[in-house]
Amino acid sequence: MKTYKLTIFEKSGEKLLDQLFKAASDKAAKEHGQQLIQAHAGEEKTYRCTSSDGRLLLFHI
């Protein structure tokens, strides 16, 4: 399993969520990331989800 990091920001730059999680694949990580974003009402916020090797999986400004 690989480690992924999801961060959700306010427009001011304040971090609302900064969470590490593990997933079996990039696809599973994207799905889990989307669930976390929805759970924290972050759909309209700035967010990014990255893999431990630096790949960007989810991004929204």
Location of structure tokens 């960007």:
56
Give whole-number Cα distances, 54 to 11, 14, 23, 40, 41, in Å. Answer: 23, 22, 15, 23, 25
pLDDT of residue 18: 97
Three-state SS for the chain is CEEEEEEEECCCCCEEEEEEEEECCHHHHHHHHHHHHHHCCCCCCEEEEEECCCCEEEEEC
Q: What is the mean pLDDT of each run of 10 residues along the chain (61 residues)?
A: 97 95 97 97 96 96 92
pLDDT of residue 20: 98
Number of separate domains in the chain: 1
* Cα 58 versus chain centre, distance: 6
- The residue segments making up the domain with residue 44 are 2-60
